[in-house]
A and B are shown apart, each in its own frame.
Chain A
């Protein structure tokens, strides 16, 4: 007897079924937008698709009347720079502190409770303090990302380091490796793919903190633009920007995955996904 749980769609059907919800959403949006626009042709809440095309064209391919910049490009560069700095520094710190915490009891004893405590503070709650300490410039935006994601990454890597089989560490030592050599040759290579995983998992939060920081004080950036034009309900720009952020986030995640599979194929074989 054929059962639904045993039936598998063909590749084509799977693709179509995957697209279906998106098409339905777009159709739903267009219907709602048309109803509102029929009521009021200047309605800004649910703009027509043509307004999106116009808005994207204006933001991406025409220089701004005021500054002569290509706004979407300038915003994207500004935001990605902040994000890359914040995530990059966090990853580097997390790797160093996480591995040290996991491997050296004398580092773990003072640092681990501190990291745990910091990771429990909601970064948005201490924003005014961040401003006063780091100023309103680029530094505070990058710092917000770092404070937001770094402690969690450290805790993750500490646990992963701790979970490495003790036999490996002992074996390296019986072969004459020093503490330093054990960490460099045995621990770090195994932790690197986990670091990439940690980065992928925290990217979502990193974006959140980036947009929040840009909403508060900025002169350019994707989050800045959205919060600025929110003042006059320009959904024709906001929605494409949101879509663009999702695309950027997806591409970053995909690139990290590819990098990980490429550089650490042995790891992904053990995970069964390479």
Chain B
């Protein structure tokens, strides 16, 4: 009888020892572990450097310097990556200025635009079939990803020829299917971004009638970090900014290292070096931190964000609790747009300035 009890007891004791030992080892591993932060990126010309930074070890190097861990994660769906960030799954994510306002900020997640990486300077465009001008768009059906920066670009394009959104018809079309859709007969007008845009423009009998170079500096690509996380641990901001400008320095120019870096990014985004360089040509990259600092500090940024906020409110993107476009405060170095007691999106040149002065 005793024997019968004994052996299960012994098993139990052994099991308990194993469990507590492994629990202890997990605890001790966490105790001397550095804090880990997660950065999400998606495929876009201005965001490919993060992939290169992670693969080449530049991100790890800067993370080590500031004694933290940075995990760089690729997310296949752009909006999904922002939603994940908004839900708290990531500490930092790449996105445009409009999405930063309408998704995390409108959801009450206080976000800081840590790095202003570039702005679209022809990367987004309105394309019509046939030999037409922008004004001919009146009455057409335009296929685009609704409520995206394409939609914003279209609204700005229409404004430039005194048309309103009600003069056209917007049809929501998934970006994954836009190129195939453009080959069909009933699609006559699209608004989209690169690399889809270059695919479409390359087709015969197409005419790009408006592009983002006509509204320079309005579609901005950012690295957005959760403000609370950044406040708690400014080292995250320093490490990310330091890594970014080292990648920028590596990839700009024409030396072999720069070519290699860009070829890596080209391959990761599904094109070749020539294709990627063509996309870079229609992107105003801020290779020098000082350029980004000047851009962020200028008063134009505030008026751009005011336009974006008005567009977003007009399309219901700020949420139903929003009585007007200035419901969400946007802080820029040149002043706050909107409600200063409800600031949810902050532009700061602080960290980029440190990079410019070589203090990182």
Q: Is the CB of A42 within 8 A of B171?
A: no
Q: Is the CB of A232 within 8 A of B317?
A: yes
B176 surroundings in chain A (CB, below 8 A): 216
Q: Is the CB of B187 within 8 A of A136?
A: yes
Give the interface size bracket for B toward A. 35 or more
B109 surroundings in chain A (CB, below 8 A): 40, 42
| A-B CB contact pairs (8 Å), 19 listed | A40-B107, A41-B108, A45-B87, A65-B316, A128-B177, A131-B177, A131-B180, A135-B184, A136-B181, A217-B171, A217-B174, A217-B181, A218-B171, A219-B169, A224-B172, A230-B83, A231-B146, A232-B319, A233-B103
Min Cβ gap A71→B in Å is: 11
Residue B102 at the A interface, CB < 8 A? yes
A228 and B180 in contact, given A218-B172, A219-B172, A233-B107 (Cβ under 8 angstroms): no
Residue B25 at the A interface, CB < 8 A? no
Measured in the bound complex, the distance between the Cα atoms of B187 and A215 in whole Å is 17
Option from B83, B185, B316 in Cβ contact (under 8 Å) with A233: B83
Measured in the bound complex, the distance between the Cα atoms of B143 and A216 in whole Å is 11
Interface of B toward A, CB cutoff 8 Å: 79, 83, 86-87, 102-103, 106-109, 143, 146-148, 169-174, 176-177, 180-181, 183-187, 315-317, 319-321, 344
Min Cβ gap B346→A in Å is: 16
Q: Is the CB of B171 within 8 A of A232?
A: no
A230 and B177 in contact, given A43-B107, A44-B86 (Cβ under 8 angstroms): no
Q: Is the CB of A135 within 8 A of B185?
A: yes
Q: Per-residue CB proximity of A104-145 to B under 8 Å, as 1/0?
A: 000000000000000000000001100110011100000000
Min Cβ gap A38→B in Å is: 12
Whose C-beta in chain A lies nearest to the C-beta of B165? A66
Q: Is the CB of A42 within 8 A of B106?
A: yes
The 5 closest A-B pairs by CB, nearest first: A42-B108, A128-B180, A217-B173, A44-B107, A135-B186
Whose C-beta in chain A lies nearest to the C-beta of B146? A228
Q: Is the CB of B177 within 8 A of A219?
A: no
B184 surroundings in chain A (CB, below 8 A): 131-132, 135-136
Q: Is the CB of B147 within 8 A of A228?
A: yes
Measured in the bound complex, the distance between the Cα atoms of B187 and A217 in whole Å is 11
Residue A160 at the B interface, CB < 8 A? no
Measured in the bound complex, the distance between the Cα atoms of B179 and A216 in whole Å is 12
Whose C-beta in chain A lies nearest to the C-beta of B178? A217
A216 and B173 in contact, given A40-B109, A136-B187, A232-B103 (Cβ under 8 angstroms): yes
Q: Is the CB of A136 within 8 A of B186?
A: yes
A136 and B171 in contact, given A40-B108, A44-B86 (Cβ under 8 angstroms): yes
B147 surroundings in chain A (CB, below 8 A): 228, 231-232
A217 and B177 in contact, given A54-B320, A228-B146, A233-B86 (Cβ under 8 angstroms): yes
Option from A65, A132, A216, A219 in Cβ contact (under 8 Å) with B183: A132
A231 surroundings in chain B (CB, below 8 A): 79, 102-103, 146-148
Measured in the bound complex, the distance between the Cα atoms of B154 and A131 in whole Å is 24
Whose C-beta in chain B lies nearest to the C-beta of A230? B79
Whose C-beta in chain A lies nearest to the C-beta of B177? A216
Min Cβ gap B121→A in Å is: 24
Min Cβ gap B191→A in Å is: 14
Q: Is the CB of A42 within 8 A of B319?
A: yes
Interface centre among A128, A218, A231 (most CB of B within 10 A): A231
